[in-house]
Amino acid sequence: ELALDEAGIAYWRAPCNDGPVPIGGPADLMALASGLDLSGPEQDVPWPPGVMLVSVADPAAPSFAGYYALPVLGAHSVYAGELEGSTLVIASVVNLVAATSNFWFFEVGEQGLVLLSQYVERADTAGAPLINGHNDAVVQSHPITGQPLAYLANWHQGVTILDLTNPRLPVRLSNWNDSPGVANSDLVQDGSGNVHEAIPIQGTWGGKHYMIVGQEILDHPGGTPSGLVYVIDTTDPTQPKEVATWTLPVDVVWSEAAVFSTHYVSVYDMTVFVAHYHAGVWAIDLSGLADGVVDEADKHPPAIGAYIPANVSPQPPPDGSYDWTPTIMDANVLGNGDLVIWDCTSGIYVVRFDATQPAPARIFEGWDDPI
């Protein structure tokens, strides 16, 4: 239920509590076997882990429209996007239990979800994780080459770019990663790897195309206050090249694992918004790249704003793994530039970044190895 606080900010309580997710009982399984319609709340759908397609043609009455089972734990994340006239769905499966991480490609058609292909990163890619914490994917037609591409964020194995000209047979174009190899082969971060998301920009800046890559980390890294946000030049998608990095401008005290981790990133115009767990949401200015030239100042772009949610949820406090207030998991940019901020512990906020009133430009000054 949405509430309105004294500042006029709408928010909704969505705690990150641990606990089992009900998937239905024997009666539901019998109904499924007999072919009965099981449209209804997700907790009444009795299928094991997989990808579910839900129709919201009538938003007041969502209905089941398709399902595809996935191995063991199912998908860590599911992405849907338009590519060359088709709606593609990518389900990302991590290897917390299974032997390998992999990406499943589907097309949404009249028959629901149609499996097109599966991709598993090559075993000789640096930093092949014994345990993979996260993987994710997006698609985009490259604004320069015109190729239909998938950008796969794959933890210590970095970002792999696939050509989806034939989505039934993805072709690996390139891989970018900063992993030192076997020294980065476990789940715990060591200042490199831990690639959580890779978002390509729309169009070009100064004739160049970039993707924004973010980490998720579990502890205070050795050389920076927190995780890194990378800017990768993908003008030539076969030769991705790191050109800039950002981290928190000041050091912080990590009282618990992951407390000040970077998480998801969003891009609006030439501003990157970083969901930063207990550090809130940060706005990073990449306008220095507008001329297509990366000079020294552009290599470590400044923070120009931050938002720290301060509401206290009217519901009981969370008691799960992430119970710091706030714990920002995501900041989604709407078409008008507004941000929808997801805080595990106090709710959902809708805010607007005012570029005319930026914070003092600051960068972290303790870089050991400048780009």
Q: Are 197 and 76 in contact (CB under 8 A)?
A: no
DSSP for 165-217?
A: SSTTS-EEEEEE----SGGG-SSS--SS--EEEEEEPSS-BTTB-EEEEEE--
Q: What is the pTM of this model?
A: 0.86
Give 166-182 pLDDT, tens digit per residue.
999 999 999 999 888 77
pLDDT number for residue 139 = 97
Residue with the bigger pLDDT between 64 and 247: it is: 247
Residue with the bigger pLDDT between 242 and 46: it is: 242
Q: Are 348 and 340 in contact (CB under 8 A)?
A: yes
Omega of the bond leading into 326 within 30 degrees of 0 (cis): yes
Residue with the bigger pLDDT between 67 and 319: it is: 67
Give 34-78 pLDDT, tens digit per residue.
454 544 455 556 778 889 898 888 988 888 888 899 888 888 899
